[in-house]
């Protein structure tokens, strides 16, 4: 195929200004971000121009905020205008601005989710007035909001080429911590520039921790307080890089591993320069010299060159679907990457029997129902059929349950689709489960209804095509306000708690946790989805009476409901009956109440 700029596929009939736009983006990155420019050379050749476009767009938007020209309000207005122009131009497919021209082509060619980028662009405005975050928690939230969308799109580009990068819910804390280390390294390396602009973004709490640092740093006085502050930040950045590196490198695609090792080595070198600079850290940026960069990057580029020559990669043809409209597919055609769904959700189809949901007061309706879908294999065996037939039938029930939850007005429904223990089943059975689930998602019914899909579980072992389908529909439905459908796939509750414990230990090492007592709310912050509400009702089909490691933290106060029917035998009417029965129970949370007293509220306890 023809190439754009440096080694990326171009669509037929590309005009000269598109190529010029990509070259302009490449030049911007090379001149303004030499370290990142070197790292982007480790990406597959097919996606490098898209990487130039993404990074140049980030640089341009960040420059609109970091400039000293104009008032903070004016800088925010300039960024808002630039972002609005990008949205309009993406809709039309053209732009006169070279950076936006390349980005528009990248968005359309690779089906980048522009909503993610716009959220990150909007978050940059928080730096316009130079207001520093109050705490490390606030600082981390700002870093995440400004950078996650961009990082996600780089990973999406790798995924589109067939490079697997295991960024999943279970490792979200590691990814977030690693980004903290990168951003803090950037802050230290560019500290002199930030002092020049008067826009220090360090948390107020860390400045207050070192006497005099808050006043001496803007004055470029390398006082003992500033020295201690810099030493603390250097140690924190190294710890974050090391912890993230140790967790992320497991089970990576070789190309992703080369990239990760090079990022860590290059950013450690930047920290080494900052550490050796002494007072000069307040006078000029701290970057490793060309020889150091060459020693790190030359072997990495050679390895990447060989790898991308030897490893088969695929570059899907550019798809340009109409925004928000699910596309019809022909058999065997690639699944298009979804963007945010903007078309109105269609009405919920009625149950074939004509049954209607019971009338239940909203204040008595459970907020979150979790279901252990048990009995597929026994249902098939009872009919003399293979176990796989039971899974095929069971997947069809999944859709009907979601429709029933929508009809009755349920806010959250969690379905235990595949546990970490299910890997002990035969390879044929596991493959069939994933295949029928992928086929069910392919229909697009989630996109057609007011459903927000979320994947709760581990992405490392799930087939890439299924993982991509789920992630795409997650992204496409993330702004939905109806039913939140939690798909617990390759999920293990103990694993979730163990990873939360590891994240807490890491936070303690970096100083984020400075007290000995921790509340439930503190602990929940380190779970993959801390905002997910507690389970009010847990229902298990199939006659067994076990919780099977499902949502142990969230289901600790759940009402339990066990039924003998096998999963393929039930439908939305059974869900309504279970919910109706639940409304007649009284939840006391350990209190002693009279029959007429209102339900007790659960109080938060302290873990010591």
Taking CA atoms, 13 is separated from 18, 19, 25, 102, 109, in Å, by 11, 11, 21, 15, 13
Radius of gyration of the chain (CA): 26
H/E segment holding residue 537: strand 537-540
Report the distance separating Cα 344 and Cα 66, nearest Å.
Answer: 39
Point out the catalytic residue in the list 66, 190, 194, 374.
374
DSSP of 148-182, one letter per residue? HHHHHHHHHHHHHTT------GGGHHHHHHHHHHH
- CA–CA dist 60, 493 (Å, integer): 43
Main-chain phi, psi angles of 559, to 5 degrees? -75, 135
Euclidean distance between CA atoms 449 and 480, whole angstroms: 9
> DSSP string spanning 411-475?
SEEEEEEEEGGGGGS-HHHHHHHHHHHHHHHHT-HHHHTTEEEEEES--SSS-HHHHHHHHHHHH
CB burial of residue 258 (10 Å; 0-12, 13-18, 19+): buried
Give alpha helix (H) positions in 339-385. Answer: 376-381
Q: Would the CA dihedral through 347, 348, 351, 357 be positive or negative?
A: negative
> Phi and psi (nearest 5°) for 484?
-95, 115
Residue in 62, 422, 512, 522 annotated catalytic: 422
Q: Is 574 a catalytic residue?
A: no
Q: From CA 393, how far away is CA 379, in angstroms rounded?
A: 9
CA distance 37 to 48: 10
374 is catalytic: yes
Supply the residues annotated as catalytic: 374, 422
């Amino acid at each position: 195929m023809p190439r754009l700029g440096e080694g990326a596929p171009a669509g037929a009939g590309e005009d000269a200004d598109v190529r010029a736009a990509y070259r302009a983006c490449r030049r911007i990155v090379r001149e303004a971000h030499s370290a990142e420019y070197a790292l982007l050379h480790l990406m597959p050749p097919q996606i490098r121009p898209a990487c130039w476009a993404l990074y140049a767009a980030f640089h341009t938007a960040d420059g609109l905020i970091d400039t000293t020209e104009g008032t903070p309000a004016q800088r925010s207005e300039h960024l808002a205008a630039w972002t609005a122009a990008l949205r309009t131009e993406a809709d039309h497919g053209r732009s006169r601005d070279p950076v936006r021209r390349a980005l528009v082509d990248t968005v359309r060619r690779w089906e980048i989710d522009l909503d993610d980028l716009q959220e990150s662009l909007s978050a940059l405005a928080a730096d316009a007035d130079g207001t520093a975050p109050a705490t490390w928690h606030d600082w981390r939230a700002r870093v995440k909001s400004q950078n996650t969308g961009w990082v996600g799109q780089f990973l999406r580009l790798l995924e589109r080429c067939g490079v697997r990068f295991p960024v999943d819910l279970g490792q979200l804390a590691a990814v977030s911590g690693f980004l903290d280390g990168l951003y803090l390294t950037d802050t230290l390396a560019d500290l002199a520039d930030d002092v020049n602009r008067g826009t220090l973004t360090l948390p107020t709490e860390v400045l207050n921790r070192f006497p005099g640092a808050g006043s001496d740093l803007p004055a470029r006085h390398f006082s003992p307080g500033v020295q201690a502050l810099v030493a603390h930040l250097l140690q924190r950045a190294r710890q974050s890089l090391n912890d993230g590196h140790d967790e992320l490198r497991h089970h990576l695609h070789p190309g992703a591993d080369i990239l990760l090792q090079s990022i860590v080595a290059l950013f450690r070198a930047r920290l080494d320069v900052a550490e050796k600079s002494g007072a000069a850290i307040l006078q000029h940026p701290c970057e490793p010299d060309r020889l150091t960069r060459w020693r790190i990057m030359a072997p990495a580029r050679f390895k990447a060159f060989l790898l991308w020559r030897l490893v088969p990669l695929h570059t899907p043809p550019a798809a340009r679907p109409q925004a928000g409209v699910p596309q019809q597919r022909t058999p065997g055609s690639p699944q298009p990457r979804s963007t945010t769904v903007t078309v109105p959700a269609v009405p919920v189809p009625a149950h074939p029997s004509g049954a209607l949901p019971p009338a239940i007061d909203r204040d008595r309706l459970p907020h979150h129902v979790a279901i252990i879908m048990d009995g597929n294999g026994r249902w098939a065996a009872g009919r003399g059929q293979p176990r796989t037939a039971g899974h095929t039938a069971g997947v069809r029930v999944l859709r009907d349950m979601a429709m029933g939850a929508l009809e009755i007005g349920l806010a959250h429904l969690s379905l235990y689709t595949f546990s970490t223990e299910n890997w002990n089943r035969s390879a044929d059975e596991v493959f069939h489960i994933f295949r029928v689930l992928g086929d069910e998602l392919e229909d697009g019914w989630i996109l057609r209804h007011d459903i927000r899909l979320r994947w709760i579980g581990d992405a490392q072992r799930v087939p890439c095509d299924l993982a991509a389908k789920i992630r795409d529909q997650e992204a496409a439905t993330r702004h939905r306000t109806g039913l939140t459908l939690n798909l617990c796939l390759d999920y293990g509750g103990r694993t979730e708690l163990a990873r939360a414990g590891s994240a807490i230990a890491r936070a303690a090492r970096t100083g984020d946790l400075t007290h000995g007592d921790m509340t439930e709310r503190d602990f929940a912050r380190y779970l993959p989805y801390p905002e997910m509400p507690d389970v009010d009702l847990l229902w298990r089909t199939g006659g067994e009476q076990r919780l099977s490691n499902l949502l142990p933290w969230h289901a600790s106060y759940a009402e339990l409901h066990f039924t003998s029917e096998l999963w393929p035998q039930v439908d939305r009417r059974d869900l309504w009956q279970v919910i109706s029965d639940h409304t007649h129970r009284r939840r006391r949370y350990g209190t002693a109440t009279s029959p007429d007293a209102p339900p007790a509220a659960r109080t938060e306890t302290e873990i010591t």
